[in-house]
Amino acid sequence: MLKFMRKYSQQILIGILVAFVGSIVIFGLSSTFFMGPKMNNTAQQPQFTEFATLNGEPLDYFKYAQLMKRALMRFNGSDLDPTIVEYLKYNVFQEYLNYSILLKQADDNNIKVTRKEINDQTNNIISAYKLKGKSELKDLLEQNGLEYKKFVSDLENDIKVAKLRNGIAASIQVTNQDLNNYYKEVKARHILIKFPEVKDATSIKEKEAATEVARKNAEDLLARAKTGEDFAKLASEYSSDSSSKAGGDLGWFGVGMMVPEFEAAAFSLAPGEITGPVKTQFGFHIIKVDDVKYKDRPENKTDEDLKNELLERKRQEAFETFISPLRKNIKIDIFDPELLAYQYKMQGKLDDAISQYQRIISKNPASPIPHIYIGQVYESRNEYDKALSELEKGTIKEELNTSLKSPYLHIAIADVYKKMKNNSTAVKELKTSSEMAGDNLMLREQLSSSFKELNESALQRNEEEEIARIKKALEANNAANLPTGNTGAAVNPTPAETIK
């Protein structure tokens, strides 16, 4: 599953970013108008009384739900692996927090929106959706449980945030050196000296003093490495990173694979050169470059295409630099069990994660999906019997309500059997998943990969044939300009395009 997630990581991340490019209100309308049956206010509410608060103020679940829909549009209405959905939900939530922080920052900086800007953007929306006028827009809003007054208020907020983000990105440029680095790959080692762990009650001066101790340790190691001591040996002995076992070797990496500070330092070095201490979110790094190579330019991309990609990346990095200190000074309380469960998993608090999944089951006892999550938690702890027992509960619920059948439940069961070296039963579960896969391209690709891993060439070939069939149908639909699923409306104008 992790390998499959890595394969689709770019598409997943784009799905998250797409939800926040331009106007949230526009994209909210897009998901409301073009993503199936009408949802009333009751249907939009979370299962639990509270969703989340920022500095004690409740966050708008309706807006978060619309953003989540927008992120899902990237996947053309596919039935997604619950693991991907969970990842999307948490990361869309994090981006929504950023939006809320930026809105406050915009207000604090007295960023204003004129009536003309609101009217212009409203007209852009009317034009984008081919509406007859403001009256039809109001009717559509009312049909979907939205008040026009709230729409205008949200639109004003969106324009404020767009102005602030445009200001952050205004000075960003892509240089020829940036483009050169795009084709560059570096083979490097590093020594990581982590920031010291300090209790919350520790004073700022004590924290700064502890950080300086870490910096001094890194500087001492840098001096030793530059005087000729064996870098790999120093890394093995002193680095806090898991790569220490390999002498600090990170292998080959290209643009976008490391945090910006680390990447900038590594890409500035020639083979054999050493630099540091480089401060990142992880601590202080001493970096040595062993080798450099250049890859060929992708045939389907021009230099201009790559410059645009790099520009977006640099803008995102500038945004992260801007938002990071602001996030340190806020108080976030999450009450939604899905978000809490994922957060606990990321923190390694697996028992707490299981407790949150149990909360979800108590509110939605018919769904097999929470059992997938719990089973995966047990699998990660090598508690395979508990994992299978939990996943079996999901299969029982499938039998009780066939409309809730999930092919991903059987993939999860197969994953456990593979870990137990019971490949024949794993194949059986994968075949069951395949019978449910239909035209789900991502699922077919996942199944193909799993059958290949199990050396089931005939079954893999069947999946590849299905993949080819689905892609051919998608290409035919695209050529005929027909919808291929819940892809939303045409590209919409955004505040970034209309505000000068």
Name the pLDDT band for 18 (thresholds 50, 70, 90).
Answer: very low
Instruction: Indicate if the pLDDT at residue 1 is higher than 70.
Output: no
* pLDDT value of position 226: 94
CATH topology of domain 184-295: Chitinase A; domain 3 (3.10.50)
User: Does pLDDT of 311 surpass 80?
Assistant: yes
Is the model's pLDDT at 341 over the cut of 90?
yes
CB 231 within 8 A of CB 247: yes
Identify the CA nearest to 467 among candidates 499, 434, 490.
434
pLDDT at 312: 84
Report the pLDDT value the prediction gives residue 318, as an integer from 0 to 100: 86
Q: Do domains 184-295 and 366-479 have the same CATH topology?
A: no
Flag whether pLDDT at 453 surpasses 90. Answer: yes
Q: Taking the CB of residue 236, how many other CB atoms lie within 10 A of it?
A: 16
State the pLDDT at residue 52: 94
List the chain domain ranges.
2-173, 184-295, 366-479
Mean model confidence pLDDT for the chain: 83
Q: What percent of the chain has pLDDT over 90?
A: 49
Mean pLDDT, to the nearest integer, of 316-332?
87
Q: Is the pLDDT score of 352 beyond 70? A: yes
Query: Which tens digit of pLDDT belongs to each residue from 355-398?
Result: 999 999 999 999 999 999 999 999 999 999 999 999 999 999 99
The total number of residues written for the chain in this structure: 500
At a CB cut-off of 8 Å and minimum separation 6, what does 360 contact?
47, 337, 338, 341, 367, 370
Q: What is the pLDDT of residues 457-471, one digit of tens each?
A: 999 999 999 999 999
Q: Give the pLDDT mean for 112-138.
A: 90
C-alpha R_g of the chain: 25
Given pLDDT bands bounded at 50, 70 and 90, which one contains residue 218? very high
Looking at the domain 366-479, which fold is it?
1.25.40
Q: What is the pTM of this model?
A: 0.68
Output the 3-class SS for 419-436. Answer: HCCCHHHHHHHHHHHHHH
CATH class of this structure's domain 2-173: mainly alpha
Name residue, tokens 């998993």. Answer: 345
